[in-house]
Amino acid sequence: MSGTPHLSPRVPPPLGQRLKAEAERRGFALSGIAPATDANGFGRFADWLDKGYAGAMGYLHRHREERRHPRSILESVRSVLMVGMEYGGADPWDRGRPGRSSRPDQERPGRPRSQDGPTGRVAAYAAGPDYHRFLWDRLNDLSGWLEREVPGCTAAAVADTAPLLERDFARRAGLGWVGKNTLLIHPGRGSFFFLGAVLTDLELTPDEPFTGSHCGTCTACLDACPTDAFPEPGVLDARRCISYLTIELRGEIPVELRPGVGNWLYGCDVCQDVCPWNRKAAGLPVPFPHDPGLEWLDPVELLGLDEAAFRARFKKTSLWRNRRAGLLRNAAVVLGNVGDGRALPALERALSDDEVIREAAEWAIGRIRERSAESALATVRPPP
């Protein structure tokens, strides 16, 4: 007589595996676990600060030592879950095409202009809601899941603003390597993604770290940078970076760097756009909600915004970060680079605005009039 077959109890997957599955459910396509030890790249980070490459970002100096170990965020930390969420780059047709240039004297294909006339480009990550809140909501939800799953444990969710060397721990968690443009690159997902982390006092099984680099002899990102912001591969001089100049810098943009800003109104995607690894990521689903109305903005229209109008339009976006004075300063610089005489009335009105806006408007007016004079002179010169 045959007995009833014995059914073994179903063993749930390991906690780390379930945690990564929950991360994926919340839109994080990339996830990996690293042990909470000293950051391998802290020495390079400290040397970078000592060379002055951080520019006016004084907060990096103030919280320098806190980046040595993640215990500065969570004292009892033992494991770090690193996650990545795509936000998408340029148009998939255009993204990562080799041989392109984004220098201001060469037209670059890509996201279509939204209208005729002078327009300013916005980096892909900023063409939507403020990504900080978008990530924090999902990371806090993920850390809450972990604390419910293991009662008594502690978890802390962080993204961007915490003193954590995110790319260092992401590499150790197997998410990719740090490319020559200093960005984390995943072999199948490229580099257009946000990084976040959940720190916990649980001992989770770590993933294999990503070793080596797959940049090879390619220097596309270094060659394409309009302001030559890379003194050497893997080192960024933020003081020359368009993203720094248009977002972090509060005063006047150095005159010698303004032509390199081109028509970038907020941030820059050049070194990612030309990266061959981003061709592999073209067309992947992107959970981050884009706003087509933010991809290109009219600098002339921006110069007409007062504080109330600026707040109403940009308060819930990343563009709020550099406030009205910073964005309108950038708008004036873009107009000076584009060189369209139709912008002169708006620039002249800006001469009565905030000091940093006024100075940029004066420069732009001078550039436009200079080009106009050169053009007029060229038309009356006798043929050689």
362-381 per-position pLDDT tens digit: 999 999 998 877 666 666 55
Find out whether 344 and 365 touch, Cβ atoms under 8 Å.
yes
CA-CA distance, 115 to 19, in Å (whole number)? 45
Find out whether 74 and 201 touch, Cβ atoms under 8 Å.
yes
Counting every residue, how long is the chain? 384
Find out whether 226 and 270 touch, Cβ atoms under 8 Å.
yes
Helix (H) or strand (E) holding 265: strand 264-266
Q: Is 160 a catalytic residue?
A: yes
Q: Which of 91, 94, 130, 160 is catalytic?
A: 160
Give 138's DSSP letter. H
CA-CA distance, 237 to 55, in Å (whole number)? 8
pLDDT at 269: 96
Nearest to 235 by CA among 39, 98, 51: 51
pLDDT by position in tens, the chain (length 384): 455 555 556 767 899 999 999 999 999 999 999 999 999 999 999 999 999 999 999 999 999 999 999 999 999 999 999 999 999 875 533 433 333 333 333 333 334 444 465 589 999 999 999 999 999 999 999 999 999 999 999 999 999 889 999 999 999 999 999 999 999 999 999 999 999 999 999 999 999 999 989 999 999 999 999 999 999 999 999 999 999 999 999 999 999 999 999 999 999 999 999 999 998 776 667 889 988 899 999 999 999 999 999 999 999 999 998 899 999 999 999 999 998 889 999 999 999 999 999 999 999 999 999 887 766 666 655 556
pLDDT at 119: 86
Give 120's DSSP letter. E
CA-CA distance, 163 to 367, in Å (whole number)? 41
Nearest to 85 by CA among 44, 123, 39, 28: 28
Find out whether 144 and 22 touch, Cβ atoms under 8 Å.
no
DSSP 3-state assignment of 30?
Answer: strand
DSSP 3-state assignment of 25?
Answer: helix
Find out whether 120 and 296 touch, Cβ atoms under 8 Å.
yes
CA-CA distance, 193 to 286, in Å (whole number)? 9
